[in-house]
Homo-oligomer: A and B are copies of this chain.
Amino acid sequence: MTGGELLRILATHPGVEVAWATSREYIGKPIHAAHPHLRGFYQGLRFEALEDVDMGVVNVVFNALPHSVGTVIVAEAFETGIRVVDLSADYRLKDPDLYPALYGFKHPRPDLLEEAVYALPEIYGEKLRGARLSAVPGCNATAAILAAAPLAASNMIEKGYGLIVDVKAASSEAGSRPGRHNIHPLREGSARPYSPWGHRHAAEAAQVLRELAGEGIRVSLVPHAVSMTRGVLASAHAWLREGYGFREAATAYASFYSGSPMVRIKPMAPGLPGDPPDVKNVLGSMYAEVGFAVEEDSGRITGFAAIDNLVRGAAGQAVYAMNAMLGFDEWMGLHTPPIRP
């Protein structure tokens, strides 16, 4: 589904022409055979086998192959000077030792991990400019980081206690492969945890949040499958340090995201007007709704982030990365307003 979403966004991007697209299942067929909503776009383009494409004709390559499948191809393209935007997890983690445990493979090119820029605009936007290799964040990690970053970067919270990020994720996260539990009758109306003993995206989120904290901080992430087709809502829970409260949180969130055109800050407190952060308000777009609330009695603070998992959590951040890497306006092709309801 990430591939379809990328093609949807690129279809109206003013600076891009798609030279080829690969597939295993749809070789020789038009784009709309796999993505029926795109019928009428990409006329003349047909899926090719990976081994048949001509790398020489493109300035940038997107890798949306399953984890570990494209690692070497990405490295090779990179070395020929082609810009590479990797939507898989292959270049997200800086520590190569994490790959065997989390993704089941020994990383073939640990030397490139430092080279890859983690494509989260609000944090690594500067580093992406002109970068040659970028790793697009996972959707759960994107939401978790956006919710928690101002907390991690400040000294408001008790870092010894750390951050626990509770994530609510849509069914499109699992992609289009049928499986026993993502068939409609068993997923619709369902709410359940998955991988609660340690999700892969936790490592990404922790890597970024620890860097922001500049010191040891415990970070944990617990994903849940809920009954919607698009969107991720992350709730990052922590305890405030003595003397900190709503006012300091407001300052921290406002300053962290000042200058971020696609982050909508939504403070939540009794009596404040406005809607809560809601995935319903950002679908189809790069917007992130980031909120926070303080429970005065207990001292608990929660940061929230609502995003579209396929745009902000995948294909949209990939296009942002491409824009920045090629020297385009960073948000080119990404100004689309969300669709609601």
The residues of A with any CB-CB pair to B shorter than 8 Å are 1, 4, 8, 11-12, 35-41, 161-162, 164, 166, 168, 170-172, 174, 176-194, 196-198, 202, 218-220, 222, 224, 226-231, 233, 235, 237, 239, 261-262, 264, 268-270, 274-285, 287, 291, 293-300, 302, 304, 306, 335-341
Cα–Cα distance between A8 and B178 once the two chains are bound (Å): 26
Residues of B within 8 A of A220 (CB): 237, 295, 298, 300
Is A35 a contact of B340 with CB atoms below 8 Å? yes
B168 and A191 form a contact (CB under 8 A): yes
Instruction: Please name the 5 residue pairs, one residue from A and one from B, whose CB atoms are nearest each other, closest first.
Output: A178-B178, A196-B293, A185-B341, A184-B187, A171-B184
Find out whether the CB atom of B229 lies under 8 angstroms from the CB atom of A306: no
Partner of A191, one of B188, B196, B228, B275: B228
Kindly list chain B residues whose C-beta atoms are within 8 Å of the C-beta of A178: 178-180, 182-183
Most chain-B Cβ atoms within 10 A of its Cβ — which of A8, A197, A229?
A197
| Cβ–Cβ contact B161 & A191, under 8 A | no
Interchain nearest-CB distance for A161 vs B (Å) = 5
Partner of A37, one of B228, B274, B337: B337
Smallest CB separation, A225 vs chain B (Å): 9
In this complex, what residue of B is CB-closest to A35? B340
Q: Are A339 and B339 in contact (CB under 8 A)?
A: yes
Q: Is the CB of A302 within 8 A of B228?
A: no
Known contacts A36-B278, A183-B176, A337-B37; is-contact A222 B193 (Cβ 8 Å): no
Q: Is the CB of A193 within 8 A of B235?
A: yes
Contacts of A336 in B (CB 8 A): 12, 336
A166 CB contact (under 8 Å) in B237, B261, B275 = B237
Q: Which of B182, B192, B239, B261 makes the CB contact (< 8 A) with A276?
A: B192
A1 shortest CB reach to chain B, Å: 7
A242 to chain B, nearest CB (A): 13
Interface centre among A37, A270, A338 (most CB of B within 10 A): A37
Given known A183-B182, A193-B293, contact A282–B166 (CB-CB < 8 A): no
Whether the Cβ atoms of B182 and A235 lie closer than 8 Å is no
How many angstroms between the C-alpha atoms of A276 and B226 in the bound complex? 13
Q: Inside 8 A of A171's CB, which chain B residues have their CB?
A: 183-185, 188
A185 x B339 contact (CB < 8 A): no
How many Å lie between the Cα of A181 and that of B278 in the bound state? 11
Known contacts A178-B180, A198-B296; A278 and B337 CB within 8 A of each other: no
Assembly CA distance A37 to B224 (angstroms) = 19
CA separation between A164 and B35, bound complex, in Å? 32
Most buried by B among A11, A166, A181: A166
A170 nearest CB neighbor, chain B only: B185
Task: Tell me the minimal C-beta distance from A298 to chain B in angstroms.
Answer: 5
Q: How far is the CA of A141 from the CA of B270 in the complex (A)?
A: 21
User: Contacts of A198 on B, CB cut-off 8 Å?
Assistant: 295-297
- The answer to whether B341 and A186 touch across the interface, beta carbons within 8 angstroms, is yes
Q: Which residues from chain B contact A8 at a C-beta distance below 8 Å?
A: 337, 339
Q: Could you list 30 examples of A-B contacts with CB < 8 Å? A: A4-B340, A37-B280, A37-B282, A37-B285, A38-B338, A39-B281, A40-B261, A41-B337, A166-B166, A166-B237, A168-B224, A171-B184, A176-B180, A178-B178, A178-B183, A181-B275, A182-B183, A182-B185, A184-B229, A186-B341, A188-B229, A189-B229, A189-B279, A190-B279, A193-B293, A196-B293, A196-B302, A197-B293, A220-B237, A222-B293
